[in-house]
Amino acid sequence: MTYEELDQIAKAARAENDKYEHEINVCMGTGCLSQHSDKLKEALAASVAAQGKNTFVRRTGCMGLCAAGPLVLVDPQEVLYQHVSAGNAEAIVNSLDGEPVTALQCDLRDHFDRQVHIVLENSGHIDPEKIDDYIARDGYQALVSALTDMTPKGVIHQVTESGLRGRGGGGYPTGLKWGTVAKASGDMKYVICNGDEGDPGAFMDRSVLESDPHRVLEGMAIAAFAVGASKAYVYVRAEYPLAVSRLATCLRDARRRGLLGNGICGTTFNFDVEIRLGAGAFVCGEETALIASIEGKRGTPKPRPPYPAVSGLWGKPTLINNVETFANIAPIIRKGGKWFAGIGSERSKGTKVFALTGKITNTGLVEVPMGIKLREIIEEIGGGVPYGHTFKAVQTGGPSGGCLPAELLDIGVSYDALVKVGAMMGSGGMIVMDDTSCMVNVARFFIEFCMTESCGKCIPCRAGTAQMFTLLNRICTGQGTLDDLELLEDLCSTVKEASLCGLGQTAPNPVLSTLKYFRHEYIDHIVHKRCPAGVCNIKAPVAEIPAEVLA
């Protein structure tokens, strides 16, 4: 594959698209598929055929706004329809040459205009299972230019210059990590793509893998070239069957096109990728545990150092990055590190994809530049809290993150700012809670999660989270005392400081942050024996009635 060949494929694909007067894009991500968007697509295609319109009906990946699904986007007019069912197919096809169907039209300018799409730029525009669609939108150009015009050092320099930081949550500078693996000595090196998105309430990685798998693959190939690896693994959760099957198709197509395999682009660069299925263990999102899982063992973490960059998979130097990190690589190489560094805030560059869920109007995926205020994301892009309820808290970072109250909504979203207030970026889950959520109950939910997901290797995490759960359970059922609260705080610091891996070290975060910002709710449960949100099942204290009164 050379530039010219790539260009030819792109031109042919574009010419194929230009043959049609209209394009109807139907979202077929997991969210819309659950509402039978596959049947909708069939109905649209049948209707187009029946009316003899010169229109192409395309399956696409996620369009982001899951709350309004199934979504249909009509190009070139760029009309977005929401809540479309197979019954509406004919009306939409009829309207192609005239006025759009107003009853179905989705007019959420605020939602879309404030977003900046880099990772999601192809999502909703291409058919994820067609490699030509991806190439038509500048796909694989970055790989070809890296292989033919750049040195591995040059690639790493661009990534370093971009200021990209790991999107899995930790925020480690990606360029630095690549540099370490590139410098490590070894005959064999590995690249691993971490798609074990265990955070409940987060689905960015699933969506990227489902909507634009080639983007991730291209990022991985560039990474492998930069660090000198020739073998890679994608570790995906078994709970994401659609992502796995689309990824498998994508690998097969790339192999067929000579973008995977031996001697890619006529160079000496060999690269191949294998898919490994996760088996439902949250701890496997931790890099050393993930490596153990790929090796076919129980997913328990190891103390670091040695870091995987030096001794990882089968003791070889290994580069592990998150799905979203790899998805950022191709645009960086194509447009340059400086371009990327121009987006975002001072120490957090680029954009971040968030999964906006919970008690919010526009649930779904959003991609925003770093540094944007939480308030903008929630109130303007997210459309605020529905049904007249009031906002109480937003939870970021999954079970390792924290709950932030309304007073902190004006902070800018960046790795450092979120850590400073006791939460963390995490992989990008953002769960909004309103006045019907009890913060003590939420803290108990997260601790229960960490307790069941603890791998059991180190005692602070294994026993600590279990004890914390017992204490929180007592408080939730109205049996807690103020001594319990003190003990809980004490345990939090022990678990935080003494645990082996990230799971245990961050497990107390939900408790610490709710204690910090919503302490009055804990006091209400303990002292007044009541749950302000009415969630916890506290039995009313039975007054001691003297025996003689009863008699």
Partner 1 sequence: MPTFTPPPLPSDDKRWKIVNGTMRKNGFARNALIETLHTVQSSFGYLDDNAIRFVAQSLRVPLSQAYGVVTFYHHFSLKPPGKHTMTVCTGTACYIKGTDKLLASAEAKLGIAQGHTTKDGNISLMTARCVGACGRAPVVLTDGELQGMMTGEILLEQLERWAVE
Q: Which residues of this protein are in contact with partner 1, per CB under 8 A?
A: 30-31, 33-35, 66-67, 69, 197-203, 206-207, 237-240, 276-282, 293-299, 355, 357-359, 363-365, 395, 398-399, 429, 431, 433, 437, 442, 445-446, 449, 453, 455
Q: Which two tokens stand for residue 176?
A: 């630095």
Tell me how far, at minimum, the Cβ of 96 lies from partner 1, in Å.
28
Tell me how far, at minimum, the Cβ of 506 lies from partner 1, in Å.
15
Q: Are strands 402-405 and 429-434 parallel, antiparallel or unpaired?
A: unpaired
Tell me how far, at minimum, the Cβ of 513 lies from partner 1, in Å.
14
Q: Is residue 239 helix, strand or coil? A: coil
Tell me how far, at minimum, the Cβ of 334 lies from partner 1, in Å.
29
Tell me how far, at minimum, the Cβ of 371 lies from partner 1, in Å.
25
Residue number, 9 or 281, with CB nearest to partner 1: 281
Tell me how far, at minimum, the Cβ of 282 lies from partner 1, in Å.
7
**Is the CB of residue 283 less than 8 Å from the CB of residue 299?**
yes
Residue 64 backbone phi and psi in degrees, to 5: 105, -45
Cα–Cα distance between 235 and 391 in angstroms, integer?
A: 36
Residue number, 198 or 369, with CB nearest to partner 1: 198
Residue number, 205 or 218, with CB nearest to partner 1: 205
**Is the CB of residue 199 less than 8 Å from the CB of residue 398?**
yes
Residue number, 310 or 433, with CB nearest to partner 1: 433
Tell me how far, at minimum, the Cβ of 277 lies from partner 1, in Å.
5
**Is the CB of residue 321 less than 8 Å from the CB of residue 177?**
yes
Tell me how far, at minimum, the Cβ of 168 lies from partner 1, in Å.
16
**Is the CB of residue 425 less than 8 Å from the CB of residue 417?**
no
What is the residue whose two structure tokens read 């153990």?
292
Cα–Cα distance between 324 and 339 in angstroms, integer?
A: 18
Amino acid at 483: D
Name which of 508, 431, 422, 514 is nearest 476 in CA terms: 514
**Is the CB of residue 137 less than 8 Å from the CB of residue 61?**
no
Cα–Cα distance between 31 and 26 in angstroms, integer?
A: 12
Say if residue 386 is preceded by a cis peptide, omega within 30 of 0: no
Q: Which two tokens stand for residue 157?
A: 């320099």
